[in-house]
């Protein structure tokens, strides 16, 4: 029976094109219209309350209704609602934010470049890699390696870095010159008896074989998320980044850490690079940089790259890259306040204190007959739903098990997301407390039981043990 849509839902269906949505299903079912938020909760237009179990889109780290961030935005709008950074213009919020970021990023940074999103930031990473190699007389060194299941955005360049086929299909991407190395997905791809360290060695060897096959003199950079979020919350196996970075250094290939999801405390350190001992040449940031209260992204720029930009600017007349909203004063002011709050409340310490509760409840669900693998770090995790626990057999995509679980979770008062297949991703606001974590997992446990019942009754699948 077709759902009876409210007036607002009908209006939505008539006028909005929704990103990352099954548009055919949306025409029938309409949207969940959210009306307000408070703390870790959001409320829909009917007054129903939900735990925001994915912090929006991995981003609302300080939760909803933070008065300090609202006041920071209001004050800056009243003082200087807009100016730009083009043609040597500047403003105090952008300067202060760049100073604060330089002080906390785990890599030497000469300058900070601002964008409005992670996609724009990763597009900038691509352009600077090309520009830099032209400037230093290596015009052939242009290819960039991402990873299968990696996610770096959906602009033409960023989606070429992304390694999820659904983001490529019928869009005619990736563009030429973009390569994709193996995803270090230990649960799925390790050979029988292979340790994490051995698996990491094989992944690194495969990467080096790709580099040598393509010719290292043609490869500019390698980009990786510390934890692959949208690909299924894939954690790197032991020693993986250590081995990968040695290969990159050997072949003069820049390491770009995409910290859009992992940055600003999510993994139990300020950056995921610190959690996994990554020494990147550049870092991409967005999302929690403002707790998602304003759109903002950023990248770090090393001194050698900046010197090349200066040289090219002198030769060409200007550095011909930038966005209208690069370093937007309101977004910058909100980001400055966000970083102040992180420091004052010791967000990293809070994540570390909540992580044992979060991971304990997450890992306990590994015994559920529907769950093949539970994995997480800090306050990010996923449950991989499988047809058979012993064989790791997945459900067919047409079964729609992940989507069904997410729909049931919503009925149970929890918003989460199926990522990278039937992986139920969890990434609550970083300010979540222990009691709230338990409420979240109580809802998730009920969701799994109901989903398992649906699988057996409606799909006729007997779950393996």
Q: What is the distance between the alpha carbons of residues 267 and 276, in angstroms, rounded to a whole number?
A: 9
11 CB-contact burial (10 Å; exposed 0-12 / middle 13-18 / buried 19+): middle
Range(s) of the domain holding residue 428 = 32-65+347-458
Enumerate the H helices of 185-322 as residue ranges: 186-189, 196-214, 240-250, 272-275, 303-316
- Mention every residue, 6+ apart, whose C-beta is less than 8 A from residue 332: 76, 91, 93, 94, 96, 97, 114, 296
Judge whether 132 lies within some domain: yes
DSSP H or E segment with residue 383? strand 380-385
Judge whether 175 lies within some domain: yes
Is 88 in a helix, a strand, or coil? helix
- Residue 71: other Cβ atoms inside 10 A: 13
Strand order in the sheet with 380-385: 371-377, 380-385, 423-426, 417-419
Instruction: Answer with the one of 345, 378, 403 that is the final residue of a domain.
Output: 345
Regarding whether 418 and 403 lie in a shared domain, the answer is yes
Instruction: Report pLDDT for 254.
Output: 98
Judge whether 26 lies within some domain: no
* Residue 98 CA neighbour count, 13 Å, CB half: 21
* Residue 105 CA neighbour count, 13 Å, CB half: 30
Tell me the longest C-alpha to C-alpha distance in the chain: 70
Regarding whether 449 and 325 lie in a shared domain, the answer is no
Instruction: Report pLDDT for 317.
Output: 96
- Residue 74: other Cβ atoms inside 10 A: 12
Q: What is the CATH number of the domain that holds 306?
A: 3.40.640.10
pTM: 0.97
Long-range Cβ contacts of 130-139 (<8 Å, 24+ apart): 130/220, 131/308, 131/309, 131/312, 131/321, 132/220, 132/304, 132/305, 132/308, 132/309, 133/220, 134/312, 135/308, 135/309, 135/311, 135/312, 136/308, 138/217
Tokens 């720029």 sit on residue: 301
Instruction: Report pLDDT for 1.
Output: 55
Taking the CA atoms of residue 158, residue 125, residue 55 and residue 406 in that order, the dihedral angle to the nearest 10 degrees is 20
Regarding whether 128 and 82 lie in a shared domain, the answer is yes
Q: What is the distance between the alpha carbons of residues 262 and 227, in angstroms, rounded to a whole number?
A: 7
64: β partners: 39
Regarding whether 216 and 79 lie in a shared domain, the answer is yes
Q: What is the DSSP letter of 406?
A: H
Regarding whether 200 and 228 lie in a shared domain, the answer is yes
Please provide residue 159's backbone torsions phi and psi, each rounded to the nearest 5 degrees: -70, -25
Regarding whether 258 and 130 lie in a shared domain, the answer is yes
Instruction: Report pLDDT for 3.
Output: 75
198 CB-contact burial (10 Å; exposed 0-12 / middle 13-18 / buried 19+): middle
Q: What is the distance between the alpha carbons of residues 400 and 378, in angstroms, rounded to a whole number?
A: 29
Regarding whether 72 and 61 lie in a shared domain, the answer is no
**In the structure, what pLDDT confidence band is assigned to residue 465 with cuts at 50, 70 and 90?**
low
Enumerate the H helices of 265-424 as residue ranges: 272-275, 303-316, 329-345, 347-364, 401-411
Judge whether 6 lies within some domain: no
Q: What is the CATH number of the domain that holds 432?
A: 3.90.1150.10
Is 116 in a helix, a strand, or coil? coil
Q: Is the pLDDT of residue 349 over 60?
A: yes
147-205 pLDDT, tens digit per residue, is: 999 999 999 999 999 999 999 999 999 999 999 999 999 999 999 999 999 999 999 99
Cα 423 to Cα 365, 401, 453, distances in angstroms: 13, 10, 18
Please provide the average confidence, as pLDDT, over all residues in the chain. 97
Regarding whether 290 and 246 lie in a shared domain, the answer is yes
Closest CA to 34 of 25, 45, 48, 20: 45
Q: Is the pLDDT of residue 2 over 90?
A: no
Judge whether 403 lies within some domain: yes
* DSSP, residue by residue, 304-337: HHHHHHHHHHHHHSS-----TTTT-HHHHHHHHH
Judge whether 24 lies within some domain: no
42-76 pLDDT, tens digit per residue, is: 999 999 999 999 999 999 999 999 999 999 999 99
Q: What is the distance between the alpha carbons of residues 443 and 410, in angstroms, rounded to a whole number?
A: 9
What pairing do the DSSP bridges indicate for beta strands 254-258 and 282-285? parallel
401-425: average pLDDT: 97
Q: What is the distance between the alpha carbons of residues 414 and 405, in angstroms, rounded to a whole number?
A: 11
Instruction: Report pLDDT for 39.
Output: 98
Regarding whether 231 and 331 lie in a shared domain, the answer is yes
Taking phi first (over 0 means left), then psi (-120 to 50 degrees means alpha), and beta for anything else, what does residue 137 get?
left
Q: Please state the domain count of the chain.
A: 2
Instruction: Report pLDDT for 162.
Output: 98
Instruction: Answer with the one of 295, 322, 345 that is the final residue of a domain.
Output: 345
Tokens 């008539």 sit on residue: 14
Judge whether 174 lies within some domain: yes
Judge whether 186 lies within some domain: yes
The share of the chain scoring above pLDDT 90, in percent, equals 98
Instruction: Answer with the one of 300, 318, 345 that is the final residue of a domain.
Output: 345
Regarding whether 227 and 86 lie in a shared domain, the answer is yes
Regarding whether 358 and 318 lie in a shared domain, the answer is no
Regarding whether 337 and 218 lie in a shared domain, the answer is yes
């Amino acid at each position: 029976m077709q759902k009876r849509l409210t007036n607002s839902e009908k209006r939505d269906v008539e006028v909005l094109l929704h990103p990352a949505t099954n548009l055919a299903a949306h025409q029938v079912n309409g949207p969940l219209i959210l009306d307000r938020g408070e703390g870790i909760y959001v409320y829909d237009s009917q007054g129903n309350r939900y735990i925001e179990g994915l912090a929006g889109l991995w981003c609302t780290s300080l939760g909803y209704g933070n008065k300090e961030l609202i006041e920071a935005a209001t004050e800056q709008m009243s003082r200087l609602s807009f100016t730009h950074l083009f043609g040597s213009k500047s403003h105090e919020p952008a300067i202060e934010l760049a100073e604060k970021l330089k002080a906390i990023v785990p890599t030497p940074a000469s300058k900070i470049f601002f964008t409005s999103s992670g996609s724009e930031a990763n597009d900038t990473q691509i352009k600077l890699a090309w520009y830099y190699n032209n400037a230093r007389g290596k015009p052939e060194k242009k290819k960039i390696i991402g990873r299968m299941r990696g996610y770096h955005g959906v602009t033409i360049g960023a989606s070429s870095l992304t390694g999820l086929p659904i983001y490529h299909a019928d869009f005619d991407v990736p563009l030429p010159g973009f390569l994709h190395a193996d995803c270090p997905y230990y649960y799925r791809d390790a050979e029988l008896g292979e340790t994490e360290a051995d698996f990491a060695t094989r992944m690194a060897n495969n990467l080096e074989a790709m580099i040598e096959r393509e010719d290292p003199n043609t490869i500019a950079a390698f980009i990786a998320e510390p934890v692959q979020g949208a690909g299924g919350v894939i954690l790197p196996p032991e020693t993986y980044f250590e081995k990968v970075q040695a290969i990159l250094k050997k072949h003069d290939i820049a390491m770009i850490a995409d910290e859009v999801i992992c940055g600003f405390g999510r993994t139990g350190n300020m950056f995921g690079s610190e959690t996994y001992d990554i020494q990147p040449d550049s870092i991409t940031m967005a999302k929690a940089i403002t707790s998602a209260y304003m759109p903002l992204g950023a990248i770090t720029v090393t001194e050698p790259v900046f010197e090349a930009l200066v040289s090219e600017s002198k030769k060409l007349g200007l550095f011909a890259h930038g966005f209208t909203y690069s370093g937007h004063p309101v977004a910058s002011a909100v980001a400055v306040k966000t970083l102040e709050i992180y420091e004052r409340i010791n967000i990293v310490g809070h994540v570390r204190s909540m992580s044992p509760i979060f991971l304990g409840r997450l890992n306990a669900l590994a015994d559920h007959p529907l769950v093949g693998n539970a994995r997480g770090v800090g306050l990010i995790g996923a449950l991989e739903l499988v047809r058979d626990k012993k064989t790791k057999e997945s459900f067919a995509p047409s079964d729609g098990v992940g989507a069904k679980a997410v729909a049931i979770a919503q009925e149970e008062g929890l918003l989460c997301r199926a990522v990278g297949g039937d992986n139920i991703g969890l990434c609550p606001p970083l300010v979540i407390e222990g009691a709230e974590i338990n409420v979240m997992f109580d809802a998730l446990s009920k969701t799994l039981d109901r989903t398992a019942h649906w699988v057996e009754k409606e799909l006729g699948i007997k779950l393996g043990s």
